[in-house]
Amino acid sequence: MKYISTRGQAPTLNFEDVLLTGLASDGGLYVPETLPQFSLDEIRAMRELPYNELAFKIVQPFVGGCIADADLKAIIDDTYGSFAHKAVAPVTQIDHNEYVLELFHGPTLAFKDFALQLLGRLLDHVLEKRQERVVIMGATSGDTGSAAIEGCKRCNNIDIFILHPHNRVSEVQRRQMTTIEGDNIYNIAIEGNFDDAQAMVKASFGDQGFLRGERRLVAVNSINWARIMAQIVYYFYASLNLGGPDRKMSYSVPTGNFGDIFAGYLAKRMGLPIDQLVIATNRNDILHRLISTGIYKKEALEHTLSPSMDIVVSSNFERMLFDLYDRDGNVLADLMQRMNNETVELDADKLAKARELYSSAAADDEVTSKVISDVFNDTGYLLDPHTAIGVHAARTTRWNKDVPMITLGTAHPVKFAPAIEKAGLASPELPHHLADLFERDERYTVLPAELTTVQSFIADHVFG
């Protein structure tokens, strides 16, 4: 399996190099040159597989021999053996033909665990083989940070720096990041928003001079292809548990950086019968506005009850645009430059193609709270605010009620007490392994949203 950049000017890489590269040298994102394909018979034969064995079937073609099958299988078995639920990603019914795919049974109670627990183990394996030490730099709107630290803390060959927007993540999210012990773990609270943090990460990958040529940066954000690859699996798993592939499924996906729903698009292209993919956003609704109007226009980021979706610049949308624009790297490079600096209108044929692939809806905090309350009163099932937005989008855009609609349950509600309480409900207790979270010591540094200041902090701690 070979990987190419969305902007067409970076070297073609194999999986191992893509794992360690993150952002391409031309500023683009790596995608597979071709996608593995599964026939309906091949998918049907996967029905009885537990999650870890299904994951091996889906992931193995992407790795392309860079990691021996036996080693890859052991890594995957170890990854999903750490989840709290035997099913790993159980499906819960909340209405007739309406389901929640629970993706919050990993160690940090969010869907990011599916990719980042695997990514950490893949990095450990590859870096040990190469005898190389690297610097991980990532930005988080709440869940990526703790999942990345938890997934990578065991690796002896990394120093990890996670940037989060100061006072703009939930307390549980912050404490999950800042209470993990380790001499190689650094949490930086940026006096800005997530987009500021993400921009600094991208700029640092573009110019790594602050690391003196002695280390390389590795990405844990969903610009890292391995993140997307791991998320494809649970679309297959949910379908197979509800009668797929002999009937189609629809999915509603709470969307911030577009990685999770892009994985669903790839699952469809790989042969999984999917009827509808729904983009669910909060008030920071740039993707919904784009699908609705064809206009890509940045607006000021707002702080909401669903902080993991408080994002304006959705990095992975570039991967989607690459396909919409017929994989023409030169055209895409020009488009991305314009989208970063001005309001852009998609070509009519590209917009039509996007609307064939996606529906979309947005929900403000009032709607989010009402959905949490309504679903709890109807079923006794408690949604976190991001999943509630997914349920709202599913119900308002659904075009075929005979097709099962699966909302991705992206986080445990205990992580978002203010949203639960605003819905008039009591926040649940922390799971046993996090019961003492509020008693643990925190470690983080508050820095201004200045690139040179952040890079100097990283260099001082890597080389000091």
Amino acid at 365: D
Question: How far, in Å, are 163, 166, 269 from residue 192 at the CA level?
Answer: 10, 7, 38
203 token code pair: 């700029």
State how far the Cα of 118 lies from the Cα of 96, in Å rounded to an integer: 34
List CB contacts of 455: < 8 A, sequence separation 6 or more. 204, 210
Beta-sheet strands, E only, within 146-285: 158-165, 185-191, 217-219, 249-254, 274-281
- Check if 202 is active-site: no
Q: Residue 346 CA to chain centroid, in angstroms? A: 25
- Which residue of the set 86, 112, 153, 353 is catalytic? 112
Residues 149 and 448 sit within 8 Å (Cβ to Cβ)? no
SS3 80: helix
Sign of CA dihedral 408, 412, 418, 422: positive
List CB contacts of 85: < 8 A, sequence separation 6 or more. 102, 105
Q: Active-site residue numbers?
A: 112
